């Protein structure tokens, strides 16, 4: 996924960096700036997003496979 970096709209990026800043403030009592929260977001995208993407693909596969099995069960 590193070659196809996730592209966020300006609004989504602002929302996500704001969420990161709020988390650090509320959970760790650390006041992050825009640059630091943006760097954390970039780290998540670059290093961790692939795992979430792959899990979504796997979950979709299991779901669709189960539905296909259900479909075959109605054969006469």
DSSP SS3 for 27? helix
pLDDT single digits (tens) 11-34: 999 999 999 999 999 999 999 999
Residue 56 structure tokens: 């979504």
User: How far is the CA of 62 from the CAs of 5, 18, 38, in angstroms?
Assistant: 26, 34, 34
Mean pLDDT computed over 26-45 = 97
**Number of neighbours of residue 39 by Cβ within 10 angstroms:** 14
Q: Which of the four pLDDT bands, split at 50, 70 and 90, describes residue 6?
A: confident
Residues 6+ apart with CB under 8 A from 20: 32, 37, 40, 41
Given a cut of 80, whether residue 8 has pLDDT beyond it is yes
């Amino acid at each position: 996924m590193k070659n196809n970096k996730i592209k966020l709209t300006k609004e989504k990026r602002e929302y996500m960096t704001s969420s990161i800043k709020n988390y650090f403030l509320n959970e760790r009592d650390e006041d992050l700036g825009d640059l630091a929260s943006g760097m954390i977001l970039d780290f998540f995208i670059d290093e961790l997003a692939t795992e979430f993407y792959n899990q979504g693909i796997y979950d979709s596969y299991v779901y669709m496979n189960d539905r296909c099995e259900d479909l075959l069960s109605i054969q006469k």
